[in-house]
Structure 1
Amino acid sequence: MRPLVWGLIIVVTLVIQATLLPLITAGGVRPDLLLLVVVSAGLLLGRDQGVGMGFFAGLLQDLASGNIFGASILSKTAVGYIAGHMERKVFKEKILLPLMAVLIATVINNTVMIVLLVSLGFKVDVPTAVDNTLFVLGYNAVLAIPVHQIIYRVAKSELPDPNG
């Protein structure tokens, strides 16, 4: 694991998510690039990398957003763990893998966030939150494969050689 490289990827992703993505929102909803990076890193490099990336991405997202501190940490770390747990059970080169994983991860991430907010006593309009999740699903589905290909290129040197 090259922590400096992965840390830089998270920071650049956060900057893009905070500055460029608000320009392409639909109804105030935008894709979650940090989630896409966490899922791809977990799928490619395993549970430890997924958890580490999820924690760091969630920490920076919580610090940058001003939302409830810890909510993104919890949801992104959980998603990184689940994606990383699947690392040995999947073919890394398959193109549909990141798409399916991102769809599942988006639902998990948003569900954790909604449940956490409700359990902490915040008023959450659940039907609107579900609608927003569907928009995020669409955005993330469009960006899942390109983001995964970028992360795959960065992670290639850390992947075990399939030929032995």
Structure 2
Amino acid sequence: MKRTGRTLSLGCLLLLLPLLASASGNSLLIPALGSCSLNTATEELPAALDACQQAALTGDVKAQFELGEFYYDGKRIERDLSQALQWFEQASLQGHAQSQYHLGMMFFRGEGVPANAVQAYIVLKMAAVNGSDEAMDSADLIAAQMPRNELEIASQVLGQIFRNYLLELQNADTLTSPFAPLP
């Protein structure tokens, strides 16, 4: 199931690529156990940042998220929206709901990218599917502001993503249906 969730997230972001062309104070840094913690003393920050980047480059989703937060927040280093976007995108491809939420809000606000409500809505809906309640609320607020034609485009893209996801589930090498009741 983990593979299909990752594919669902990847499919979402891959379908968004064409859209790209047209298109409070508390730190949220959460240390990733064993791989990366940027909540360190100032003198230890360069080494901690290097360790976190190494973990993120090997695919550690928690490290990718923490780096996204670190660069987005800009409290301990100059804010770098390009870096934040990069790390949130990497974690989003692995289905990380909070990264998808942040990415969607960056698309909506035009932070580091041109503002794009359609793209924001799609990514926020994916974050909601992956468990982010705040993404569901934000997607609903954005939908209320979107012109009907943009909402239709976003719904079509989401429909295609879910159709692809269901096809993948049907073609998976499993003996039982993914919708069958648990034993």
TM-score, normalised by the number of residues in structure 1: 0.35
Task: Pick the structure with more helix per residue.
Answer: 1
TM (norm. structure 2) is 0.33
